[in-house]
Structure 1
Amino acid sequence: MVSYQTYHRVNGLFISLFIVLHMATHLSGLWGIDAYNAMQQVMRIVYRNTVVEPILLVSVVLQVGVGIKLVSQNFRRKLKEKWARRQALSGLFFLFFISQHLSALAMARWIEGLDTSFFWPASVMSAPPFYWYFAPYYFLGVTAMFVHLGCALRLYALRRKSTVLAGSLFWGVSGGGGLLALTIVFMLLGLFYDIELPAVWVGYLTRVSGGLYP
């Protein structure tokens, strides 16, 4: 029987393939909104089809469930050990991030019928009070994901008796992830170019916020 740890690792590898594509889409936004949307359309051919998308969604939900199970095991002991604490806390924050992210996706895409293109994440970074919450939310969520991945890669290297590689993998992946997260946040805040929200997204924010959108 496959253990929870083994399933978490293998399923995590599958989800990581999607994350790579998703991060590539975000990075393409450095060349402008049209570049982001064009890249996203190409990537959607891979992961937003009738075969892959249901498998991906189920995989993410199961990853969340198994992750909670693993974190809950010997939680107090994990908090006392530095590396176990980093892995557990980064995993918990990413679980919070991805759960809210999927809920927001369901509302925008399936309930409101909107195309979750560049303007979906950019909309909540367009004005206060939204960006007071979503700027740190995106930065910490993406960073936590890479810290969690860095912890996993560190363990992989340690099992192969490569101590130097273990440290390099953790700090390289975590630091690179933090830099990527900061770049994404700055881009969505409009620091690299002006972002004018379409009326449909202004209307969406006004409805879901109860009129808080300025």
Structure 2
Amino acid sequence: MSSEPPSTTQAHWLSRLRSALRLLIIVLSGAVACMLVHTLEIYRGNTYLDLRKGELPMTWPAHTNLAPTLVLVAVASSNFLASVAIMCLSFARSFRRPIRSRDMYRIVAGSFGVILWATALVVFHLLDRASKASLGRYACTNKNVMSNGRYQYRAVCGEQGIAFYLAVGAASAELLTLATLGFSALNSTKQKAPAIRSEKKNSISFAPPGRFS
């Protein structure tokens, strides 16, 4: 049987869970950024394609709305870099120690990450639906048109859709990570309170005679 108290075992389990979630966030946010960058490369790089008989030329709107894609790329890239930095810092002993200020910093940073993801997803969804000239919507609208760029349209449409759902997964993992941080901070506070009361009681018990008489 393990000689560690239940609170220590629980803390280790939560720490391992957070590490797994952080690794998942790195993978998902990196995949989102790579997919969306690839769709931008398709948009920029496929202007000269061979035109076969019966095909229409591939065209993009004169003012293609790239805002939804750029917003999600920026948030995914930022989250990827932040998650990598957090993983690197987690190997430092000073970063792993249960310090209340550090826990509060992690909770604030995690909350900011969740808000960023939620904002990016809402902006991406609303702007993509509101503009017929947005990169993803235009590609999905024209993916079945018999043009020389139909495969490019399909690639952009598919990758933008996959990137959105991967971003939802990354945001969910970030939210779950934040929940584990809050749970750990709550447990730490509960464990410190009895210890502080016991310490005060002992200091009073061993006080010199006559001091409290």
For normalisation by structure 2, the TM-score amounts to: 0.38
- Structure showing greater Rg: 2
Bigger relative CO (Cα 8 Å, ≥ 6 apart): 2
